[in-house]
């Protein structure tokens, strides 16, 4: 029973994560990429202050749910979903967050391109996580 609830929670939280990631990848970052260098710092600071609570909320929910799934004894699909979540979180920590720190100091087109590439990887990971989690929940 605990396993079924954990799997359902994984499907829900990966859905929330993918929804968040689609908004970031499809709307937020393209808009940020169009900001002129002259107003970059102000706009980036505004972006960072607004998105940080959302990032904390999404990943702060996703991480314990992944832990619950692992503790409940996952199957292959659940392991794949958790691994994809870990990839998204790892890319955020290793690439996106450092890029944002650098971009917070000054506009740098090369760093912005790296951020956008990292973001596409996070989007792919979020899609894989949801597909695997929903498939696993469908079997429960």
Q: What is the rounded average pLDDT of the residues 81-90?
A: 98
The structure's pTM equals 0.94
Query: What confidence score (pLDDT) does residue 23 get?
Result: 97
Is residue 2 very low, low, confident or very high in pLDDT (cuts 50, 70, 90)? confident
Measured between alpha carbons, how far apart are the two ends of the chain, in Å? 9
CA of 47: how far to CAs of 21, 50, 55, 65, 78, in Å? 15, 5, 12, 27, 33
């Amino acid at each position: 029973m605990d396993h079924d609830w954990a799997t359902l929670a994984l499907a829900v939280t990966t859905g929330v994560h993918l929804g968040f990631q689609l908004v970031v990848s499809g709307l937020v970052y393209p808009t940020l990429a169009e900001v002129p260098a002259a107003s970059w710092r102000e706009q980036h600071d505004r972006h960072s202050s607004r998105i940080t609570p959302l990032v904390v909320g999404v990943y702060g929910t996703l991480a314990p749910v992944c832990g619950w799934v692992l503790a409940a004894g996952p199957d292959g699909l659940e392991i794949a979903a958790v691994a994809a979540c870990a990839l998204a979180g790892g890319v955020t920590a290793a690439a996106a967050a450092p890029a944002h720190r650098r971009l917070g100091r000054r506009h740098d087109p090369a760093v912005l391109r790296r951020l956008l590439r990292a973001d596409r990887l996070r989007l792919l990971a979020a899609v894989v996580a949801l597909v695997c989690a929903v498939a696993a929940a469908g079997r429960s």
